[in-house]
Structure 1
Amino acid sequence: MLVHICCSVDSHYFLERLQQDFPDEKLVGYFYDPNIHPYNEYLLRLKDVEYSCQKLGIELLEGPYNLEEWLKKVKGLENEPEKGDRCTVCYDDRLETSVKKAVELGHDKFTTTLLISPKKSQEKLEIIGNDLEKKYGLKWIFKDYRSGKGMEEQAKVVKENSFYRQNYCGCLFGLSAQRESQDKIIDEMFLPLSNQTLPQSIEYRLNLYNKRTNLEETNIPYRIIKQRFLNYRLLNAKVKIDGEIIPSYFLCYSTINRGKTNAKIAFEKAEIYYLNKDEVKLLSIDTFNDITQSHYRNVKDLMYHPLTFEAELKVRNDITQNPYGLSAIIIIDEIIDGKYDITIDAKVYDDTKEVII
């Protein structure tokens, strides 16, 4: 039996139940989910499914990540609600591609873990599965493992195995609508030019769950817990001196009240230059190198090869004795006496992140 798999949260309990109900059946998992965006989120879910299938002793195959083709198929349905027509097209695509793979591999049955997801329409999936059974001659296995205490048991299994609990369905359009209704920024779509790993970003979660898998493999006890914290994203920032834009690097948690200021240097202490407005602090790349024991050639070098986010917090603490202060700290190539026009568009917001202890 080929089992289309969407994510470990939905698949693990579903696959356990299939193993119980079909003890003589060889189950093969097929991860085909080109709707998942961005790509690092896709990788995170794939790796978590690999982790799940390894625990269950089930072979896993990966389908193509043909996002562009998927986007063409749902064109015009971008604003459809969850469980609407866009989702129906998505079900059609993923299930038919899975059935074709089942035929290719010589299987005579197929099913999907989408059936257990509370965000998916079982009625639509049943219709699609029945149609594909007639079209391709493979038996469609419809199982409602949601009912009874199914969802309760599923949640227990997820917690016991420390699976990655994604906080959106998968596609860009569902994500956008969900974040808009929550009045939150679409944090999942942030990827700095520097490739710095930001707190609670997809890259952060990918590293965390890779660490989880390594701890499992080495039998080291651990727990994944949630922590509330103040998160930060820099959307746009620039510095002008006497009207000319210069290269500049803004340390994490840099903000300015109302987003803009124009000021001059008021004084200097320990090679940190303090402007006369909005608590802005400037330092040269040479001073930054001295503080961090780094060897950056210039600010552009720092932009593309930054310190870790955690190391930046330490620099902020070294300068202000407050790692989570919100005053702007800006690194430029050299300190020039002139008029500084500074713009910062940044978001500081309450958030929750998972950590391993």
Structure 2
Amino acid sequence: MLVHICCSVDSHYFLQRLKKELPNEQLVGYFYDPNIHPYSEYLLRFNDVKRSCDKLKIPLIMGEYDYEAWLGGTKGLENEPEKGKRCVYCFDFRVKNAAKKAVEIGEKTITTTLLMSPKKDFTQLTNALKNAVLGTQLEIFAVDFRINGGTNEQFKMAKNDKLYHQNYCGCIFGLTKQREAQNLPLTELSSDIFNKTLIGSINERLELYEKVAECEKMGISFSLDRSYFLNYRLLFGGVKFNKTAIPSYFFFYSNFKRESVKITLESDFEMTDTLRDGVIFLSLKRLNFMLKSEYKSVLELCKNPPNFDDELALRAKISGQMSLNPIIVLDDLRAGRYEIFAKNVLFNDSREILRINES
């Protein structure tokens, strides 16, 4: 049997139920989900499915990331609600490809772990399976394992085995609607210009679950705890000195009241007192002294910033605990006219923290 897999939380329980219900059936997993956006989220979900399948000793095939092909079929369906016509199209697209793969590798039956998802319509999924096997010799297996406490057992098992539990369905349209309803920014679709890992980002979760897999491989006991915090994103930021753009580094939590601030320095400084709108300028020389670092330029600082905890500790030293003052590092602070262009967002968020258990 070829099992189309959507995510580890749905598949982990579903595959074990299949093994119990069909002990003589040889299962092959097939991860084909080009609807997932962005690609980093796709990789995160595949990696965790692989981890689950390895635990269960089930072979896994990774399908192509046919995002543009999938996206082409969504024209006119962008505003469809959950369980609407776009979901029907999405199920048909993915399950039909799974049927092709089953025929290609000689399997006789197909099913999908989407049947396990509490937010998906069982009838739509059953119809997708039936449509997918038309004109083939394939059979379908469509059983609702969610009933009689299956969903509760599914989530309990996923938590015990420390699987990645995504916080949106997968596609860009569902994500956009969900974040609009939550009044949250679409941080999943943004990244740092120098590709550093942002707090609470998909890339941070990718790194976290790589550590999870490593701990499991080495037999290290660990736990995953959820931390709730105020997150931050700088949407854009730049500084002009006497009308010429200059390199600048903005501390995390630099919060701006407006998108343009003009400031005049009457003399040279290494670090200013609080200026208009709470702005604090810091020279690179002063930063190096305070961090005991050896950055040669602000551009180098932007590409290889201090770690998050060190930067927060320095912020507290400069402007106090829990401050939101804009702190900006420049190569040097000369007398003249400065103009800051910046916009940021602050929002409630949560992230998982890996903790090694003491023996």
Quickly name the TM-score band, shorter chain normalised.
over 0.9
Q: Deviations over 1:293-320 (max 9, x none)?
A: 4443322232233333333223323433
Pair 344,41 (structure 1): closer, same or farther in 2 beyond 3 Å: same
CA RMSD of aligned residues (A): 1.8
Q: What is the alpha-carbon distance in structure 2 between the residues aligned to residue 129 and residue 302 of structure 1?
A: 53
Q: Is the 8 A contact 2:266 2:336 kept in 1?
A: no
Q: Deviations over 1:148-175 (max 9, x none)?
A: 1111111111111111110000011110
Match of 1:160 in 2: 160
Q: Structure 1 residues 24-33 or 124-133, which shifts more?
A: 124-133
1:3 aligns to 2:3 (yes or no): yes
Q: Is the 8 A contact 1:265 1:275 kept in 2?
A: no
Q: What amino acid is the match of 1:341?
A: E
Match of 1:345 in 2: 343
Q: Structure 1 residues 258-267 or 116-125, which shifts more?
A: 258-267
Q: What is the alpha-carbon distance in structure 1 between the residues aligned to residue 275 and residue 298 of structure 2?
A: 23
Displacement of 1:267 after TM fit? 8.1
Q: What amino acid is the match of 1:76?
A: G
Match of 1:75 in 2: 75
1:27-176 correspondence runs (5 A):
27-176=27-176
Identity %: 45
Q: What amino acid is the match of 2:313?
A: K
1:291 aligns to 2:279 (yes or no): no
Q: Is the 8 A contact 1:266 1:274 kept in 2?
A: no
Q: Is the 8 A contact 2:184 2:347 kept in 1?
A: no
Q: What is the alpha-carbon distance in structure 1 between the residues aligned to residue 223 and residue 134 of structure 2?
A: 47
Displacement of 1:257 after TM fit? 2.8
1:6-25 correspondence runs (5 A):
6-25=6-25
Q: Deviations over 1:170-211 (max 9, x none)?
A: 011110011011111012112111111111110111111111
Q: Deviations over 1:126-154 (max 9, x none)?
A: 11212223321101001110111111111
Match of 1:354 in 2: 352
Q: Is the 8 A contact 2:267 2:334 kept in 1?
A: no
Match of 1:254 in 2: 254
Q: What amino acid is the match of 1:130?
A: K
1:197-216 correspondence runs (5 A):
197-216=197-216
Q: What is the alpha-carbon distance in structure 1 between the residues aligned to residue 26 and residue 136 of structure 2?
A: 20
Displacement of 1:102 after TM fit? 0.6
Q: What is the alpha-carbon distance in structure 1 between the residues aligned to residue 71 and residue 353 of structure 2?
A: 34
1:317 aligns to 2:316 (yes or no): yes
Q: What is the alpha-carbon distance in structure 2 between the residues aligned to residue 350 and residue 180 of structure 1?
A: 14
Q: What is the alpha-carbon distance in structure 2 between the residues aligned to residue 173 and residue 238 of structure 1?
A: 31
Q: What amino acid is the match of 2:222?
A: Y
Q: SS of 1:224's equivalent?
A: strand
Match of 1:328 in 2: 326
**Structure 1 segments (4+ residues) deviating >4 Å:** 266-269
Q: Is the 8 A contact 2:248 2:328 kept in 1?
A: yes
**TM-score (norm: length of structure 2):** 0.94
Displacement of 1:121 after TM fit? 1.4
Q: Structure 1 residues 87-96 or 339-348, which shifts more?
A: 339-348
Q: What amino acid is the match of 1:8?
A: S
Q: What amino acid is the match of 1:273?
A: T
Name stretches of at least 5 consecutive residues in structure 2 with no aligned partner. none
Q: What number of residue pairs does the alignment pair up? A: 355
1:225 aligns to 2:225 (yes or no): yes
Match of 1:307 in 2: 306
Q: What is the alpha-carbon distance in structure 1 between the residues aligned to residue 3 and residue 266 of structure 2?
A: 67
Displacement of 1:259 after TM fit? 4.2
Q: SS of 1:125's equivalent?
A: helix
Q: What amino acid is the match of 2:225?
A: I
Q: Is the 8 A contact 1:248 1:331 kept in 2?
A: yes
Q: What amino acid is the match of 2:326?
A: A
Q: What amino acid is the match of 2:213?
A: T
Displacement of 1:348 after TM fit? 1.6
Q: What is the alpha-carbon distance in structure 2 between the residues aligned to residue 62 and residue 256 of structure 1?
A: 44
Q: What amino acid is the match of 2:187?
A: D
Q: Is the 8 A contact 1:77 1:86 kept in 2?
A: yes
Q: Structure 1 residues 83-92 or 170-179, which shifts more?
A: 83-92
Pair 24,276 (structure 1): closer, same or farther in 2 beyond 3 Å: closer
Q: What is the alpha-carbon distance in structure 2 between the residues aligned to residue 36 and residue 328 of structure 1?
A: 36
Displacement of 1:65 after TM fit? 0.7
Q: What amino acid is the match of 2:335?
A: D
